[in-house]
Structure 1
Amino acid sequence: MILSCSNISKAFGSNQVIKHASFHIEDHEKAAIVGINGAGKSTLLKIIIGELPADDGDVVVSKGKSIGYLAQHQDLSGNRTVYQEVLEIKRPVMEMEARIRQLELAMKHASGEELDAMLTTYSRLNHEFEQLNGYAYQSEVTGVLKGLGFTEEEFQKPVSALSGGQKTRVSLGRLLLTKPDIILLDEPTNHLDMESIAWLEGYLINYDGSVIIVAHDRYFLDRVVTKIIELDNGLMNVYQGNYTDYSGKRAMIRDAQMKAYLNQQQEIRHQEEVIAKLKSFNREKSIRRAESREKMLDKIEKLDKPTEINDEMRIRLEPNIISGNDVLTVRSLKKAFDQNLLFKDINFDIKRGERVAIIGGNGTGKTTILKILNGIVEPDTGEISLGSKVHIGYYDQEHQVLHMEKTLFDELQDTYPSMNNTQIRNILAAFLFTGDDVFKRIKDLSGGERGRVSLAKLMLSEANFLILDEPTNHLDITSKEILEDALVNYSGTILYVSHDRYFINKTATRILDLTNQTLVNYIGNYDYYLEKKEVMTNLYAAPLSAKNDSQEDTSDTKLDWKAQKEEQARLRKRQNDLKKTEDEIHHLEIRDGEIDEALGKEEIFTDVSKLMELNKEKEAIRQRLDELYELWEELAE
């Protein structure tokens, strides 16, 4: 055991955030702390690192073990470049290297005992240098920076000129290279694109120390952690396994708790009815029995109703009009900002009922595409056409569709003037804004609260084509799951940008990957995309380094939209044929079994005509199954 937390409690004023929480972490163990926004996850990390004192309880770290901590927000300053800032972590190694070089020079002019002493020191330093991976420290720094999404051109940027997200990535790089025995990470994936998150997953999975992560990225948690520490309403529960394991166990436990609560409530009601009836008899013996039951009832330890704070958030998205089958057509779309070409020759269609995710690295232009579709940004070239009866509902991650000076109440009332006060309050209550909350100004809300207001407006719009930009940003896991269910059950059409791979895997029926200035189409969810990514990218999106920068025409390996559509249609037909073949095999095998069972019955094998008829059918089934087995093999290849 490398870390132990015993009976940790913490309150801010009258708000008890953590109540008698206990858990421990083993050597090399990877664990996650989960819970809704405001549950106390970041507070617990700060208590472990010693940044906040606990009101009660103890944190014990094994003797000689080091802890490294990455907070959500970083404020790096100074004149160092990105590379220099991260390289500084290797200062002891660089000083050792300089000392080794000095000794090499000095030994040329030394002799006797002095030389022997120098050789002893030189040998010791060389051994230590090797142990610290000294011969590869520069490539190690470069590898971490590239893994976290920095290009070599960005290596020379001063850290003072970086955005908040870039500073967090630099701090993460520094932390990883210090290699502490225990790493504490608070939302490490917030400012990373998908490739960087995948790199960080691999790094942490293979990390030799212990890791404790606070994150809302469920796909990331599924891959990295083997223990889940849940904070729920101040109480802590520990589950073995990854996030999916935890989610299943939590649901089972919660169902059991709810059944126990309902059973107890039923028993209490029954006892109260019996007591009332006994008292109504107005006989001394009956009254004594009623009083005895009352005493027993008072001694019962009443169970609390199991709840999750966001359980009451209700999202129901439903279009008021059904659109035509062709929802959106985009042809030859191009956009550049100054000399920075984001994309060109973008072509895609969206049909009614599809849920399409646009994915890609940071800065590739995903949000720009959505803004072009909504008329917020003008394309350089290209045509966009909406289908018949298409009504767009737009969710913007920057919440530009909200008016910062308005109250929540006014925001809804001004957008939907036909709604009365009660209706507006009911809608806001469905998104967890009750009482005086409805009179808060938009500008005073947190990012997650603004997201809930935007979702409320989206629900009221009754749009049949939803365009969503990072809809899960700032949402805790419970809220994400509620939104996922709403989108999966939505009968309209959805186009969205997201970095949340679990969310994409759950909701997307198709993925458009914006890579190397073009789109690659995948008919499936995120798991399907991972399976086909390498092949499809090589086929339809040659790396930019392989292209002539001045060449405007598409190269042989660049996405040929028409050819790709035909290939995808062929693959879809093959998948449908495979499903039909499997279904027919299944039905024939069942029928074949039924015939075998019938042939064993006396009324059948004594009836010659019936026997011949069934044998003839069985032979036909055998021949057809032989054909289907061969066909299945061809289709499954």
Structure 2
Amino acid sequence: MISINDLTFRIGSRALYDEANWHIKPGERIGLIGANGTGKSTLLKIIVGEYAPSEGTISMSKDLKIGYLNQDLLSYDSHHSILHVAMEAFERQNRLHDEIEELLKKIETDYSEEVLNKLSDKQQEFEALDGYNIEYRANEILAGLGFSAEDQHRPLNTFSGGWRMRVMLAKILLQTPDILLLDEPTNHMDLPSIKWLESYLMSFEGAIVIVSHDRYFLDKVVNRIVESRKGKLTPYAGNYTFYLEEKALRGEIQKGEFKNQQAKIKQEERLIERFKAKASKAKMAQSRMKALDKMERVEDVDDDNPTVNFKFKFSKPSGRHVIKIEDAYKSYPNIEILRNADGLIEKGDKIALIGANGKGKSTLLRIIAGAEAFDGTCETGHNVTTTFFAQHQLESLHLENTILEELQAFAPKHTDTELRGILGCFLFTGDDVFKKIRVLSGGEKSRVALAKSLTTDSNFLILDEPTNHLDIQSVNILIQALQQYEGTFIAVSHDRYFLDNVANKIWFIENMDIKEYPGTYAEYEEWNSKRVQPAPTPIPMKAQKEEKPKIQEKPVSTQSQLKKLNDKLQNIEKEIASLEAQVKATEAELASDAVYGDQAKLAEINKKYQADKHLLDAAQKSWEALASEIMELES
């Protein structure tokens, strides 16, 4: 499908890739991984032709259809609705639709056989390309990515960058390419949308290459891993978990080979040193020196998993109750977030706040941090000192400071050695710590801000999407740091591996109330998958801490609602049957010689056919929506 041979790509004097090779086969689902700066995104751009290789070749068939999602698409702007933008994927169908509309207008005055033949040909091609279902397909994918029916008619330029990226992804998926190149597709996605995308990609028939730092996502979707490291591309047959096991095994073998070779080199060097001064042995020593110079050296195994080597320092521990929320009410125009909500955060709680975007997670964090107005109370406990990490805090970095100076000013109690160790964990090594903040990329600034948060004197951390812009290695460091943290924290993240390794309680907003699950994220997922439906009345926070939420039987009102919905479903089924009969009858009329010879009659019946077809599509969509609602109530 795609063949990369002896690829070399240089940025200045540095070779990002050095004679790298890789062959992508049909149907493969590949995770392209590696530390930040190893060239993963650059490689995707080389494949699509945005960058030219310094040396080597990239071969692929001319008709290969590539779908490429990258972070540059965030800048795409349009005043059209997101449904219109997504449907731009259907270039040929859209052109045919416009041409058919023009011919239908033309046929009202021009009944020539030429126009009729053109119309017939266009309609046949449009139907062959499934043109009557393209809007339904676009609706389906946009809904899966988290857009409501109302959202789909809003202009693209009214959405934030993260939501625009989802529209771009929908457009690419609708193009049904032969191969998908996805650069961090789960960035800015909530958990329901990530799970939907996982299911979609698992059933995708083409090849896929994914750059992602989401380990669970990679484990679920890919069947091969390719690691970009030291200018080479190394394949592993399996998902990310298999890659870790296989790499550890290869590392042990390489480490053994390195030790054996080093022992042999030392032995040879001792012999050379001993005999080079003796005339009778000088020739032998020279020969051994040449052989030693020509020896292909085995590299030692680098540690790709550095450990956190610093301790958190508080000047004082907090009291038992860290945050107490009572009767909280918060709303925005057209949306209610919280109503009479209560919540309690106690000393030592490690809380993951999860849920779909738009449910109020970031709003709740701001309420806890005292940065959001609301009705009700949010009391901070005795001796609680708080640090709030959010992406907008990148703006508070001092641009003229070096990275090291920024941390020194914020955390004077830490030594330079400790600070450099922390920065090393976040991929700022050697002279990198002397870079000015103003020259850093957005991702690098995010890592500096996060490093600052981890050096704080605070005993309570509020973390809003701390894993954004971090590679897998840096996420592991953050996990280690929070596991060692003896204070209290609440974190919002869509990285399930991160949540599963740091949280001991789960919070989620449901029915405008704060609900709590007393366990890890994996336990919560297992419980939630078995949950029939949420309890009809909010469970008090204290009761939730004592026992897991119980499954409730369906109330009488639900049974009544089900009866109404089933009656409505039967009526729509009758309507669909009637419309299908009308469409079939109209198709038969269109095919008859008598109608085909009468241009005026043909135009009239064709108009009726299009109208009936539209009504049938609408009725089928209504049936599907009702059926889904009934299934949810019955489950």
Structure 1 contact 30–227 (Cα < 8 Å) conserved: yes
Change (3 A) 1:379 1:269: farther
Amino acid at match of 1:568: K
Which position in structure 1 is the counterpart of 2:79?
A: 79
User: What displacement does 1:498 show?
Assistant: 0.5
Aligned match for 1:568, one of 540, 543, 548: 548
Partner Cα separation in structure 2 for residue 242 and residue 411 of structure 1: 39
Determine the C-alpha separation between the residues in 1 that align with 2:248 and 2:508: 34
Matched residue of 1:53: which SS? Answer: coil
Q: Does 1:396 align with 2:395?
A: no
> Which one is further off, 45-54 or 285-294?
285-294
Q: Distance in 2 between matches of 1:139 and 1:297?
A: 69
Pairing 1:46-57 to 2, within 5 Å after superposition: 46-57=45-56
Give, in whole Å, the separation in 2 of the partners of 1:459 and 1:359. 22
Are 2:104 and 2:119, in contact at CA under 8 Å, matched by a contact in 1? no
Contact 2:517 2:545 in 1 (8 A): no
Q: CA offset at residue 369 of structure 1?
A: 2.3
Rounded Cα–Cα distance in structure 2 between residues aligned with 1:567 and 1:486? 29
CA shift, 1:489, in A, is 4.0
In structure 2, do the counterparts of structure 1 residues 422 and 307 end up closer, same or farther at CA, with 3 Å as the change threshold? closer
Flag the 1:466–1:251 CA change in 2: closer, same or farther, 3 A. farther
Which of 183, 188, 192 is 2:189 aligned to?
A: 192
Instruction: Give distance in 1, aligned partners of 2:534 and 2:130.
Output: 39
Q: Report if the CA contact (8 A) 1:334-1:346 is conserved.
A: yes
Residue deviations 1:215-244 (CA, integer Å, cap 9, x gap): 222221111111112111211101111122
Contact 1:319 1:491 in 2 (8 A): no
Q: Residue 180 of structure 1 aligns to a residue in which SS?
A: coil
- SS of the aligned residue for 2:216 comes to helix
Task: Tell me which amino acid in the other structure corresponds to 1:87.
Answer: M
Q: Residue 167 of structure 1: CA displacement?
A: 2.5
Distance 1:196 1:86 in 2: 17
Alignment check: 8 A CA contact 2:255 2:300 kept: yes
Alignment of 1:109-508 (within 5 A): 122=120, 128-273=125-270, 275-276=272-273, 293-307=288-302, 311=305, 314=308, 316-320=310-314, 323=318, 326-337=321-332, 340-386=335-381, 390-399=384-393, 402-417=397-412, 428-429=423-424, 431-434=426-429, 436-461=431-456, 463-508=458-503
Asked if structure 1 preserves the Cα contact closer than 8 Å seen for 2:367 and 2:378, the reply is no
The offset of 1:40, in angstroms, is 1.0
Following superposition of structure 1 onto structure 2, how do residues 550-629 of structure 1 map, counting pairs within 5 Å? 556-568=536-548
CA contact (8 A) 2:351 2:507 kept: yes
Q: How far, CA to CA, are the matches of 2:425 and 2:183 in structure 1?
A: 29
Q: What amino acid is aligned across from residue 248 of structure 1 in structure 2? A: E
> Judging changes above 3 Å, is the alpha-carbon distance between structure 1 residues 286 and 3 closer, same or farther for their aligned structure 2 residues?
closer
Superposed displacement of residue 523, structure 1: 3.1
Distance 1:446 1:537, change over 3 A: farther
Residues of 2 paired with 1:403 and 1:323: CA distance? Answer: 30
Q: Which runs of 4+ in 1 moved over 6 A?
A: 98-111, 117-121, 286-289
Structure 2 counterpart of 1:368, one-letter code: T
CA distance in 2, matches of 1:207, 1:565: 42
Distance change >3 Å, CA 277–CA 346, structure 1 → 2: farther
1:77 offset after TM fit, Å? 3.1
Q: Is the 8 A contact 2:516 2:541 kept in 1?
A: no
The TM-score, its normalising length taken from structure 2, stands at 0.76
CA distance in 2, matches of 1:315, 1:153: 50
Distance 1:317 1:417, change over 3 A: closer
Do the aligned residues in 2 keep the contact of 1:359 with 1:497 (CA within 8 Å)? yes
Question: Displacement, 1:48?
Answer: 1.1
Give the structure-1-normalised TM-score.
Answer: 0.76
SS of 2:526's partner is helix
Q: CA deviation at 1:182?
A: 1.6
Where does residue 633 of structure 2 map in the other structure? Answer: none
CA distance in structure 1 between the partners assigned to 2:309 and 2:100 by the alignment: 65
- Cα 1:106–1:82 shift into 2, 3 Å: closer
Q: Distance in 2 between matches of 1:229 and 1:415?
A: 39
Q: Deviations over 1:292-313 (max 9, x none)?
A: 55444333222223336x6557
Cα deviation, 1:150-190, whole Å, max 9, x if unaligned, reads 22332233233433223222221211111121222222211
Structure 1 pair 97–372 and aligned structure 2 pair: CA distance change class (3 A): closer
| Worse overlay, 102-111 or 423-432 | 102-111
SS in 1 for 2:534: helix
Give yes or no for contact 2:15–2:231 (8 Å, CA) kept in 1: yes
Aligned equivalents of 1:7, 1:519: Cα separation in 2 = 56
* 1:523 paired residue among 514, 518, 523: 518
TM superposition shift of 1:537: 8.0
> What's the offset of the Cα at 1:435?
5.5
Matching residue of 1:12: 11
Q: Distance in 2 between the 1:466 and 1:236 partners?
A: 39
Post-superposition offset of 1:11: 0.7
- Per-residue displacement from partner, 1:104-147 (whole Å, max 9, x unpaired)? 99999999x969x968984x766644443333211111112222
| 2:548 counterpart letter in structure 1 | Q
Percent sequence identity is 38
2:92 counterpart of 1:92? yes
Whether the aligned pair in 1 keeps the contact of 2:16 and 2:231 (CA below 8 Å) is yes
Secondary structure, counterpart of 1:249 in structure 2: helix
C-alpha contact 1:314 1:482 (8 A) present in aligned 2: yes
2:581 corresponds in structure 1 to: none
Distance in 2 of aligned mates of 1:567 and 1:149: 32
Is contact 2:426–2:474 with CA below 8 Å preserved after alignment?
no
Say if 2:144 and 2:193, in contact at 8 Å, map to a contact too: yes
The CA distance in 2 between the partners of 1:263 and 1:481, in whole Å, is 32
Contact 2:29–2:209, Cα closer than 8 Å, also in 1: yes
Q: Which residue of 2 aligns with 1:27?
A: 26
- 1:33: Cα distance to partner? 1.3
Compared CA separation, residues 466 and 301, structure 1 to 2 (3 A) = same
Residues 93-102 or 214-223, more deviating: 93-102
CA distance, structure 1, for counterparts of residue 235 and residue 522 of structure 2: 28
Q: CA separation of 1:346/1:255 partners in 2, compared to 1, >3 Å: closer, same or farther?
A: farther
User: Does the 8 A contact of 2:308 with 2:480 survive in 1?
Assistant: no
User: How many residues are treated as equivalent by the alignment?
Assistant: 548
TM-fit CA distance, 1:30: 1.7
SS at match of 1:568: coil
Cα distance, 1:354–1:558 mapped onto 2, change above 3 Å = closer
Change (3 A) 1:97 1:452: closer
Distance 2:31 2:418 in 1: 40
- Say which SS state the counterpart of residue 398 (structure 1) adopts: helix
Range that drifts further, 401-410 or 368-377: 401-410
SS at match of 1:399: helix
C-alpha contact 1:331 1:346 (8 A) present in aligned 2: yes
Q: CA deviation at 1:9?
A: 1.6
Task: List runs of 5+ in structure 1 lacking aligned partners.
Answer: 541-555, 572-637
Q: For the aligned residues, what is the CA RMSD?
A: 3.6
